[in-house]
Structure 1
Amino acid sequence: MTPVEGSTLTTVAVVMVVYLGVLIFIGWRAARRTHGGEDFHLAGRSLGAWSAGISSTASSESGWVTLGAVGMTFTHGISGLWYAPGCLLGYLVNLYIVAPRLRAISATQGSVTLTDIITRRWGDPKNVLRVTATTIILICMMGYVAAQMTAAGKAFSSSLGLEGRSGYLLGVVIGAAVIILVTSLGGFRAVAWTDLFQGLLVAVALIVLPLYAIARLGGFGALIQGLGSISPHLLTAGGDRVGPVLWGFVIGQLGIGLGYPGMPHVITRYMATRNDREVQRLQVIAMLWGVVVFYGAGLVGLAGRVMMPNLVDGEQALMAIALELAHPVLAGLLLAAVISAILSTVSSQLLVAASAVSYDVVEETLGRARDDRRSLVLGRWTVAIVGVIGILVALSEVRLVFWFVLFAWSGLGAAFAPLILLALSKRGVN
């Protein structure tokens, strides 16, 4: 992607500073309402439909939706869209099966974490389940956080024209510092509020940009004609795949949604929702967000393939289109949307790690008496420590760090999705 230069760079930088300032302000406001452990871990179970619904979806997608999903359709054409129904199937399971039952059970039990739900459902007198679950969560979350910080560093540096290793390092530090500050100050409430702001920003960007790009191409007909002229395979549901390879690809994409019920940073939003009425409203809000974002990202990739067929990295198509077509202010907002998708996930993962240490380890496993002040301080320190570890890994620029996302998603999904679904089922299941 061509670096931003001159006055455009200045304008984009100003927009980004304002965006980061808004995040810090939200964190400060949330901190004034965070007074104890349950406030820090679950926002006092006070979230409304909009904050819980958008937060649950925005925190699950990370930079994958503005980078990876765009790259899928840029590279594979229409066949790259199979991820969308796969993810939406996962949303349906989470929103209409997991969410209402989980909120009711967690409120009745007083459960604070995903581990709490599991151990109280089946009993865990020797803390074997709790220690095992907490260990899995911490390992997966640290890898996840490092990968997201790496993505943030690349997004900041490439879009702002910060060249070389020094630009990348600066991008990592800026993004990480802001999100660690916001999360440690305001806890769950700050994360939910910033997720709402960032999730709406992402949705608006993925409505405006594809429509703008397609209009510049001359409409949907011109888009289809352009894709066909590049390769007929870009217009088929299977691409150039046939037989077992095609079925394996489709099943694999549809299977993405199987992991959603096992994501602690997603399902804790349902536990923090105010009441059943808000759960019913968030179901609609979250599904609409998913449809807009998944298919919007796909359209950006398709439009990018026609507009910029020589672009080396398809995952950069969103920003390349924005910088090519948009006013510098709009380009800055679109960059903010890319960063938002990344930082909303990082903040949620940092919070899950903090809850695992301060609540699951210190209070439940070690048997320390519950102390709101200690829980709050320990949670904040855990956010800072895990965040610093993520920064150190990201600064090393180890390419394999992006595999951590795949392994973390698979690990969390395989470990917890079946357990959560069983924990919410009939009592006869053991």
Structure 2
Amino acid sequence: MTANTPMLITFVVYIAAMVLIGLFAYLRTNNLSDYILGGRSLGSFVTALSAGASDMSGWLLMGLPGAVYMSGLSESWIAIGLIVGAYLNWLFVAGRLRVQTEHNGNALTLPDYFTNRFEDHSRVLRIFSAVVILVFFTIYCASGVVAGARLFESTFGMSYQTALWAGAAATIAYTFVGGFLAVSWTDTVQASLMIFALILTPIVVMLATGGIDPTFAAIELNDATNFDMLKGASFVGVISLMGWGLGYFGQPHILARFMAADSVKSIPAARRISMTWMILCLGGAVAVGFFGIAYFAAHPEVGGAVGENPERVFIELAKILFNPWVAGVLLSAILAAVMSTLSCQLLVCSSALTEDFYKSFLRKNASQLELVWVGRAMVLLVALVSIWLASNPENRVLGLVSYAWAGFGAAFGPVVLISLVWKNMTRNGALAGMLVGALTVIVWKQFGWLGLYEIIPGFIFASISILVFSLLGKAPSAAMLKRFAEAEQEYQEAHNGVQGAPAVS
């Protein structure tokens, strides 16, 4: 038995379990609503952990610990921004989106919601928003495939091309077969695995370096500025990192979890669970990178791989400090982070192609069974395109992940947020917001003005455009106002007596 055998067995068992969950979900999938939104049947716990796991990709266990290992606590501003953004998303968007999508034609996708909310008979909102989803998410999916391939490549010594298919195959399998329920149930398992890895690993690293005081002393001895939250940071730099939190309001794969909750009454409990999970995971990821500074300073002879690539700090600590079987479980957490995000992105792309193009423009009277199988075919199609994009790991398209986060955040975020809290928003306002948000991100990215992350001006200009074009154009119809009022009333009644339910006029 080689050193890698326990890790290989652990990976195989883990992947087999995910596929079995997919097969079980297959038995519960009877129509397109089941396949795309799980029949709106998710309870608080699954909604919470699925939203968290779909959000946090391999970046949580590789990128963030690597950045902190290299630069210290100054890299943790992005984690603070994400926590604030996620909390506000749960507070202002989650419950309202759940009821508004149901009142507006039982919408299954964001383009579907925009079309019904604003009575867009031209369907231009549906087309534009679906195209944005397909373009950006295919890029996102490709980055997830690369992350999975890199994990298999470094752990088992596979060639990149073999690792590419090995990493993607399991995710494609359970998403293809089980749809939204499979993705959500596996997300729950994967979120549990991620939090286990991110709580256990920093504790063991700290014990290996002698406890809290010796660990902090070693970090300070290595470089005292590691403790400085403002090390090398400008005001614009900190604001840019915090600005990542704005992206939450417009991420279709996260918003889909809110839409799929079994009831608006489940949202407050889900918010508490999800935020607790998120804070512990982000804190653990920062601690892995931070404590790793002390460990590898004391043991430079085993730090070669981390010196070449700091993003391997979690992988190397798991391999060095744990029994191979436990290391296999911990490294499966990276695979879990990659698979949970990739699977829901594949499903959102499939939903856009099936619900917003195929059903809306090609086969309006298609049976539910036909639509489910078209959805499965679209999962396969998007996955194959993503694998093709990922086949060249140096392809510049994979550098667009932060660009895509900004694109979604600016194009959809203000539209979603304002549509849920302002009854007088119109179709022209929504279209203007999407266009201005997307164009601002594209232009700002090219010129890099002020060194400011492009999501911030994109979000601001999109919000202004929504307000201006909604006030200048034709007022909303009586039917639009009635639907908005009924949904808002249902939301407020559900939250009657629940602290933290902000009202709108």
TM-score by length of 1: 0.95
Question: Counterpart of 1:374?
Answer: 370
- The Cα RMSD (Å) is 1.3
Contact 2:56 2:341 in 1 (8 A): yes
Question: Counterpart of 1:3?
Answer: none
Indicate which of 396, 399, 411 corresponds to 1:400.
Answer: 396
Indicate which of 154, 169, 173 corresponds to 1:158.
Answer: 154
Q: How does 1:192-211 map to 2 (within 5 A)?
A: 192-211=184-203
Contact 1:130 1:365 in 2 (8 A): no
2:117 pairs with 1:121: yes
Offset at residue 370 of structure 1 (A): 4.7
Contact 2:216 2:294 in 1 (8 A): no
Indicate which of 215, 228, 231 corresponds to 1:236.
Answer: 228
Q: Distance in 2 between matches of 1:257 and 1:370?
A: 39
Q: Distance in 2 between matches of 1:187 and 1:218?
A: 47
2:257 pairs with 1:269: yes
Q: Distance in 2 between matches of 1:145 and 1:117?
A: 23
Look at both structures and tell me which one has the larger radius of gyration over its CA atoms: 2
Indicate which of 269, 273, 279 corresponds to 1:281.
Answer: 269
Q: Secondary structure of 1:117's partner?
A: helix
Indicate which of 50, 54, 57 corresponds to 2:49.
Answer: 54
Letter in 1 for 2:400: F
Distance 1:367 1:16, change over 3 A: closer
Question: Counterpart of 1:72?
Answer: 67
Q: Secondary structure of 1:237's partner?
A: coil
Stretch deviating more after TM superposition (357-366 or 30-39): 357-366
Q: Distance in 2 between matches of 1:120 and 1:217?
A: 58
Q: Distance in 1 between matches of 2:354 and 2:211?
A: 54
Offset at residue 366 of structure 1 (A): 4.1
Contact 2:206 2:291 in 1 (8 A): yes
Question: Counterpart of 1:96?
Answer: 91
Letter in 1 for 2:121: P
Contact 1:224 1:235 in 2 (8 A): no
Offset at residue 401 of structure 1 (A): 3.8
Letter in 1 for 2:129: A
Counting aligned pairs with the same residue, the percent is 32
Offset at residue 399 of structure 1 (A): 4.4
- With a CA cutoff of 8 Å and minimum separation of 6, indicate the structure with the bigger relative contact order: 1
Offset at residue 406 of structure 1 (A): 1.4
Question: Counterpart of 2:416?
Answer: 420
Q: Distance in 1 between matches of 2:376 and 2:37?
A: 14
2:253 pairs with 1:257: no
Query: Could you list the per-position Cα deviations for residues 342-388 of structure 1 after superposition, in whole angstroms to 9, with x for gaps in the alignment?
Result: 11000000000000000011222446125211110110000001001
Question: Counterpart of 1:30?
Answer: 25
Indicate which of 293, 301, 305 corresponds to 1:305.
Answer: 293
2:127 pairs with 1:131: yes
Question: Counterpart of 2:433?
Answer: none
Contact 2:208 2:295 in 1 (8 A): no
Letter in 1 for 2:269: R
Stretch deviating more after TM superposition (60-69 or 350-359): 60-69
Letter in 2 for 1:137: I
Letter in 2 for 1:333: V
Letter in 2 for 1:318: F
Q: How many residues align?
A: 417
2:320 pairs with 1:332: no
Q: Distance in 2 between matches of 1:261 and 1:254?
A: 14
Letter in 2 for 1:134: A
Letter in 2 for 1:298: V
Runs of 4+ in 1 over 6 A off after TM superposition: none
Stretch deviating more after TM superposition (179-188 or 118-127): 118-127
Indicate which of 162, 167, 175 corresponds to 1:175.
Answer: 167
Stretch deviating more after TM superposition (148-157 or 112-121): 112-121
Contact 2:115 2:125 in 1 (8 A): yes
Indicate which of 4, 9, 14 corresponds to 2:4.
Answer: 9
Offset at residue 400 of structure 1 (A): 2.2
Question: Counterpart of 2:467?
Answer: none
Query: Could you list the per-position Cα deviations for residues 255-277 of structure 1 after superposition, in whole angstroms to 9, with x for gaps in the alignment?
Result: 11000110000011011000122
Offset at residue 117 of structure 1 (A): 1.8
Q: Secondary structure of 2:183's partner?
A: helix
Q: Distance in 1 between matches of 2:54 and 2:310?
A: 23
Q: Distance in 2 between matches of 1:278 and 1:53?
A: 10
Stretch deviating more after TM superposition (79-88 or 396-405): 396-405
2:314 pairs with 1:318: yes
Question: Counterpart of 2:236?
Answer: 248
